[in-house]
Structures are given as C-alpha cells and as structure tokens.
Amino acid sequence: METTQTAPKKTLYSAIQPTGSITLGNYIGALRNFVLLADDFDCLFCMADLHALTVRQDPAALRRNTASLAALYMACGLDPEKSIIYCQSHVPEHAELAWILNCFTYMGELSRMTQFKDKSAKHADNINAGLFAYPSLMAADILLYQTNLVPVGADQKQHLELTRDIATRVNSLYPNLFTVPEAYIPKTSARIRSLSDPTRKMSKSDAEDSYIALLDAPDVIRRKFRRAVTDSETEIRYDPENKPGVSNLLSILAAMENVTPEEEEAKLKGCNYGALKEAASEAVISTLAPIQERYQALMGDKEHIANTLKSGAERAHYLAQKTLRKVYKKVGLYQL
Ligand code: TRP
C-alpha cells in the first residue's frame, strides 16, 4: 500500500507588543507576509503583553490595545483556525521558562543589548530589571515552541542572536533540549521609512505624522502623505541613496500594487511630487479600507475575540508545557 509521508511543517514564531499603533511599515514588512507564511509553516502569532510592561503602561490602554491587536491580526487575514493567535500572559510557561533562562544568561550579554541601552536612555527614570531581562523572556517565547524560524527586522536581530546563544549553551549541558531558531528573512522585504525622516525606519514610537497607522482614516492618510518629506528636486526617480523621501513613496506605492519601485517610477515619469503623493495615498487608502472594515466588525464582537484568544492560549499552553516539563526535569527540579 502506498503511503504519502508529508514532512512535518517547520514552526514559525512571531510576536508584537500591544502598544501604540500598528503601522503601514509593520503591515508591509511583517503582517502581510504572515498570511502567506501561515500556509507553509505552523505559525504562532503572539501579543507580547508581558514585554510591554517593561515600560510603564496605562492598564486600561494596554488591555484595549491587546484586544485591538488581536482584531488587527485577524483583519489582516490571519486565520485563528490555521495559526495559533494568543496573548503571552495567558500562557504562564513564558514567565516560568524566562526565569530558568535568566539563570543561563549573563549580565554582560544583557548589558550589551543595544535596545536595552536605547531604552535605558529613553526611560532613565525607570531602568527596571524587566527591561534588562527582556531578551531572556523573548528567548523563552521562542524556545518554548521549539521554533525553527523567527521573522525579525534589524532591531530584533541581536535578541535573536542571544536566543540562539542561550539555546546552544543550554543544549551543551542538556543535549537536544531546544531547537536553535533561525532568522527568517522574507524574499521580498520592502523597508518602509519614516515620512518625516526617510533615512529612518517607519516606527510607531516616533511622532504621529511620521507614520501611517493601519487604522488611520483616509483624510489623515492624505494629510500625512502631503506633508511627507521629499527633496528640492522635481524628478521622480527611485534612488534610495540620494532621494530617500521620493524612493520611500515609490516603495510604498509599489508594495501596495505588488510591483517594483522601478515600475512605479516608469509609470510616473514626468509627473510632479504631488501626483506621486496622491497616488501613494489613494493606493494605501484602498488597501487599508477592507482591513479597517473587518477590524471594525471584529471589534464589535468582543466575545468572539475573547473566545479566539482563549482557544489560542489553550493550544499554545499544550505545546509550551511539553517543553517546560522537559526543562524542569533536566535542570533538576523535583517532579511530582
Ligand atoms: N521584542 C519584539 C519587538 O518588540 C517582540 C517580541 C517578543 C518577539 N517576543 C518575541 C518577536 C519573540 C519575535 C519573537 O518587536
């Protein structure tokens, strides 16, 4: 009899902190690709609310943002039946494994993390131990699920490297305990930049005019694009080095229309910057419209969100406790 053997899918893990607004940059660089990845991998999409606590949060806003991020994940097309969509604090194994990993992570390593240095400078009145140990919690997130792949942007690369170091260190004492994860670099990765300073990445922690939020209304989107920084020339040319502003607008437009920035350049030859901005805003508005519509519908049904997160947490917990139990046993904790 013929048997068809399908290789087990690799596990892919990603998390976003439920703080601030999700930007068009997050959508183009991450969320949009996740929908495609969900077919090829066993995916977990987490809302990292414990990480969010490393800087002061307004409790009501954090709660609201968590539900909102769950709705946004789904509005962007992630299917909670296919992938595990869940909230970090609903699965206690994250904090538990983080403690163990803290005991395998050196002060020197943590103090070399550039994000720690940046955030300590930014929140000088609250340099707490959680901020310092942030990377070992992130390592716990990833290692709990024996993750193979983690899509990371440049800002999280160092944390993933540390995760690999921790996993390798633990494995050298207790062989094969953890899968050592790798960075997943998407094939096409448009890097979307700030509208007000196109030499920097588009970031939700910068001024509001510098990014498009996924939930921005059409008139807000138009206004932000009108104010976007370009240059003192008049020629629409894709040249990220010398014309970062214009090139960023071409990249955004291209990402919306699934073509290359060079193709957009050719289409807009002879037009002025106003026309480019107008084309970019209209393309973004029409891409976001259905997402915003689905988002509003989902947010109108809080019970559905809660139920989705509940079943996500159960599925995540099942996998997480398998790993944690093994870890507890290996390191010598007395098992009942
Ligand atoms: N630190 C990530 C960020 O701020 C969020 C995060 C938490 C994460 N845990 C993770 C990302 C695990 C990837 C894997 O962007």
Which one of the listed residues 201, 224, 243, 277 is annotated catalytic?
Answer: 201
Q: Please give the number of the atom of ligand 1 that sits closest to the Cα of 152.
A: 13
Is 187 a residue of the active site?
A: no
Is 119 a residue of the active site?
A: yes
Answer with the residue of higher pLDDT: 29 or 280: 280
Ligand 1 pocket check for 13: Cβ under 6 Å: yes
Ligand 1 binding pocket mutation candidate from 51, 142, 161 (most atoms within 8 A of CB): 51
Q: Is residue 189 over pLDDT 70? A: no
Q: Is residue 2 over pLDDT 60? A: no
Q: Which domains does the chain have, with CATH numbers?
A: 11-184+301-331 (3.40.50.620), 208-297 (1.10.240.10)
273-329 pLDDT per residue, tens: 999 999 999 999 999 999 999 999 999 999 999 999 999 999 999 999 999 999 999
Average pLDDT, the chain: 95
Region 202-217 average pLDDT:
92
Q: What is the DSSP string of 152-206?
A: --GGGHHHHHHHHHHHHHHHHHSTTSS---EEE--SS----B-SS-TTSB--TTS
Distance between CA 158 and CA 110 in Å, rounded?
10
Q: Please give the number of the atom of ligand 1 that sits closest to the Cα of 134.
A: 1
Residue 4 has a pLDDT of: 64
Q: Whose CA is nearest to atom 3 of ligand 1?
A: 16
Decide: 323 and 174 in contact? Cβ < 8 Å.
Answer: no
Ligand 1 pocket check for 22: Cβ under 6 Å: no
Region 196-211 average pLDDT:
91
Which one of the listed residues 10, 204, 326, 330 is annotated catalytic?
Answer: 204
Decide: 195 and 211 in contact? Cβ < 8 Å.
Answer: yes
Decide: 166 and 101 in contact? Cβ < 8 Å.
Answer: yes
The pTM for the full model equals 0.93
84-139 pLDDT per residue, tens: 999 999 999 999 999 999 999 999 999 999 999 999 999 999 999 999 999 999 99
Distance between CA 268 and CA 230 in Å, rounded?
15
Distance between CA 156 and CA 154 in Å, rounded?
6
DSSP state of 30: I
Q: Is residue 3 over pLDDT 80? A: no
